[in-house]
Structure 1
Amino acid sequence: MLKLKDGSSIAKIGQGTWKMGENPNSRESEIKALKKGLELGMTLIDTAEMYGDGRTESLIGEAITEYPRQKLYLVSKVYPFHAGKGKIFDSCDASLKRLGTDYLDMYLLHWRGNIPLSETVACLEELVKRGKIRRWGVSNFDLSDMEELLTVQNGENCAINQVLYHLGSRGIEYDLLPWQQEKGIPVMAYCPLAQAGNLKCALKNSTGLEEIAQKHGATIYQVLLSFVLANENVVAIPKASKASHVKDNYEAVKIILDEQDIKRLNMEFPPPKRKVPLDIE
């Protein structure tokens, strides 16, 4: 578990759902995967109104029907063009309806848009007051965005920033990650497995990763996940559409990379030495 600024806790590992719910032929497998995660205690589930145009939220709603709501940690995201007083309240209600719940544990601005941050934050604070969400955060915000956010009234209430982060995409380690750690704002890492290595093909062909995986009796994907989880200020939300992959992700928590492992990974996939643009995919 990881402590948030408001004193509440969030799990270090959860379930991502990007691209789930889009193919009817995969629905049964995806629901089984989500349920397997819940069975293992992976009760943090991340989604967004954008995913499958709402179909992903509906899929999750079906998967969690029989699970006690108080044991779940549901995170969803609002489109930037819905994140103003004209649409955000309807967007939130629509997400709640699809998920079959009356509140979200966390609601995120999906990425920076044209609506002023001051207006979005005011709306998010109003949703908290109405009991529709417990807390709020942002997604795909780089350091300059986060710095601006904290100048806005109540901007300091931002609980988390969800960004792409994996061994092959370490740009946030240069400035964003340490800055957020200093401010007490965790990073939620999406695609921590680099979409099974497809976002960075060198990961799948890495002899270093393979050797470290063999050393720990693990897969390279479990090593990728353990690398992200090793940072105390990072929450990981790997996506798995099959129950067996969910179990693999859960088992990765037990892998503790030692100093030699990290040194080997740093040689092959070095941390940034300068500012780089925030990766989106």
Structure 2
Amino acid sequence: MITHLQDTITLNNGLQMPGMGLGVFQVANGATAEMVKNAIEVGYRSIDTAAIYGNEEGVGEGIKQALTSTSLQREDLFITSKVWNDGLSYEETITAYEKSLEKLGLDYLDLYLIHWPGKDKYTDSWKALEDLYDQGKIKAIGVCNFTASHLQNLLSFARIKPVINQVEFHPRLQQAELHSFCNNHQIQLEAWAPLMQGGLLEDETISKIAIKYGKSNAQVILRWDVQNGIIAIPKSVRRERMLQNADIFDFLLTDEEMATINAMNLEQRVGPNPNEFDFAL
């Protein structure tokens, strides 16, 4: 269990990944540079973006500015991007990777993910990711929004096991079966929308726990993620909120409090169900 914002989790290929990061979903490209720069300056080392977000240029500019304003080197950061659904052939995946790298202004990515499985559209794309990994252009490869059945199929042909499955995960959507599958196969679960896109910030059950510790609902939820061994990538454009989200390492939820939050599960999504949405373009 991580005990500091910059603590890392060891992925199944031996790579060290920060146990908490910053997501930039739905942040305009023009606002992303300052956001990323601020995040790195206050201590975040992991930044998660995607081609479809349309803000890779801003992320790259923010990284450049942060490396100028701090003593950090590129190797101190962990940068993730994702290939979108409109280009999942082998050749299209290679091209998409190169475009993302160019927009980010980087020489390599730490982690590259297939964004959605679609209707088993990921076979050729995964082979492309494996080859990029073999060539040293990516330090780790993984997937997003894969169910246990998607992962089972992927593992049936993959030469390289995914290190990450990034999925919607929060107290109302705990995906116990998927979490167990990932644990059993040494695939790290990473949470997008860990705060249910703000839907849990006023929840009374979590508020009761938060009051006890003098914390916010967001801090309690992120602490719950940490104690569950989940990597979380909360989004915030405000520097003070970034600091608040990271201020979760000075308290420990009791077993009873963990059980109370665990009991909140309703399998309730704020995003699409991977089994029902193909994202065909």
For normalisation by structure 1, the TM-score amounts to 0.85
C-alpha separation between the residues in 2 aligned to 1:278 and 1:240? Answer: 18
Which residue in 2 is equivalent to 1:71? 76
- Which residue is 2:272 aligned to? 280
Instruction: Work out whether residues 35 and 62 of structure 2, in 8 Å CA contact, stay in contact via their aligned partners in 1.
Output: no
One of 95, 102, 110 as aligned partner of 1:90 = 95
What amino acid does structure 1 have at the position aligned with 2:227? A
Preserved contact between residue 46 and residue 237 of structure 1 (Cα < 8 Å):
yes
Select which of 219, 222, 235 maps to 2:219. Answer: 222
Partner residue, 1:7: 14
Aligned with 2:44 (options 39, 42, 45): 42
Measured on the aligned residues, the alpha-carbon RMSD in Å equals 2.1
Q: In the alignment, which residue of structure 1 is the partner of 2:190?
A: 188
**1:94 and 1:253, CA in 2 relative to 1: closer, same or farther beyond 3 A?**
farther
User: Aligned in 2, Cα 1:179/1:277: closer, same or farther, shift over 3 Å?
Assistant: farther
CA contact (8 A) 2:197 2:270 kept: no
Which runs of structure 2 are paired with 1:57-206 in the superposition (5 Å)?
Answer: 57-66=56-65, 67=67, 68-113=73-118, 116-154=121-159, 156-170=160-174, 172-173=175-176, 175-197=177-199, 203-206=200-203
Structure 1 57/253 Cα, relative in aligned 2: closer, same or farther at 3 Å? farther
| Equivalent residue, structure 2, for 1:200 | none
Q: What do the CA deviations read for 1:84-113 (whole angstroms, capped 9, x no partner)?
A: 223111111110111110110010000013
Query: How many aligned positions are there?
Result: 260
Asked if 2 retains the 8 angstrom alpha-carbon contact of 1:84 and 1:115, the reply is no
Q: Normalising to structure 2: TM-score of the pair?
A: 0.85
The change in CA–CA distance for 1:190 and 1:180 in structure 2 (over 3 A counts) is: same
User: What is residue 276 of structure 2 aligned with on the other side?
Assistant: none
**Which sections of structure 2, spanning at least 5 residues, go unmatched?**
1-7, 68-72, 274-281
CA distance 1:205–1:182, shift in 2 (3 Å): same
Question: Secondary structure at 1:70's aligned position in 2?
Answer: helix
Q: The residue matched to 1:39 in structure 2 has which SS?
A: helix
What's 2:206 paired with?
A: 209
CA deviation vs aligned residue, 1:137-167 (integer Å, no higher than 9, x gap): 000000100000100131x421111000011
Q: What's the CA shift for 1:3?
A: 1.1
Secondary structure at 2:142's aligned position in 1? strand
Match of 2:239 in 1: 243
Matched AA of 1:4: L
C-alpha deviation, 1:190, in angstroms: 0.5
State the distance in 2 between where 1:151 and 1:278 align.
30
Larger CA deviation: 43-52 vs 244-253: 244-253
- Output the CA distance in 2 between the equivalents of 1:142 and 1:128: 23
